[in-house]
Each structure stands twice: as C-alpha cells, then as structure tokens.
Amino acid sequence: MAISRAYDPENRDQVFDTLRREILAAQVKVTLDKELNRPTSDTVKRLAGMKLPPIVKMNHYICDAQICAVAQNAKDIRAGHRCPMPADEVRRDLDPDG
C-alpha cells in the first residue's frame, strides 16, 4: 500500500515545513497533557524536544508539485515512454474559447 502524503518528500522546503508543524503540534500536546495531568507518549516528547527546522518561503506550494509532475511526464515522453491519459483529462484544457 502506498503512503499518502500532503507534501512532496523530494522537496526540502515542503519537508521542513511539515516537520516544523509536527514539532510545534507536539509541543502544544505536551503542554496540554501536563496541564491536564495526562500521560504523554515518549515519541511525542522526543518530537517536541527536537530543534525546529528553518522557516522557508512556501510560494506556489501546489504549483511546484504540478510543475514537477508535468516535467516528469515530459521527461518520460522524451525518453520514448508512452504516457497513457484518460480522454477526459486530455479534453480538459481544450476549450473552444481557448
């Protein structure tokens, strides 16, 4: 079964952004658990103790993933690989209005 991710693991900026959010969420959870006298798992404690990665500019987060997908398809076509595509995908960009 393939892992579903909301980020591109090859894109360092997206990985840092996701890791940063996970660390901050773990820090909040540790604080709330302490205030409410609840146990906190060791994994969450270790994550909360990690140093935050640098903040990166996330301009065109989705567009970057789309550009990468288009570039990969173009690379496959140039290498001679057929790129099958559903008919409704092909017609999607071919409006009579342009």
The per-residue pLDDT for range 12-25, each reduced to its tens digit, is 888 888 899 999 99
> Whats the size of the chain, residue-wise?
98
Across 90-95, average pLDDT: 53
Range with lowest mean pLDDT among 10-14, 24-28, 49-53, 91-95: 91-95
Could you report the per-residue pLDDT of 25-48, keeping only the tens digit for each?
A: 999 999 999 999 999 999 999 999
Report the alpha-carbon distance of residue 83 to residue 70 in Å, rounded: 11
CA-to-CA distance for 34 and 62, rounded, in angstroms? Answer: 37
Instruction: Report domain extents, the chain.
Output: 12-82
The structure tokens listed for 10 are: 């090859």
User: Residue 10 contacts by C-beta under 8 Å, 6 or more apart in sequence?
Assistant: 68
With vertex at residue 58, the alpha carbon angle to CA 52 and CA 60, rounded to the nearest 5 degrees, is 160
Query: Which structure tokens are listed for 57?
Result: 């500019």
Instruction: Give 14's contacts (C-beta < 8 A, 6+ positions apart).
Output: 7, 8, 58, 61, 64
pTM of the model: 0.54
Q: Report the alpha-carbon distance of residue 76 to residue 79 in Å, rounded.
A: 5
- pLDDT at site 26: 96
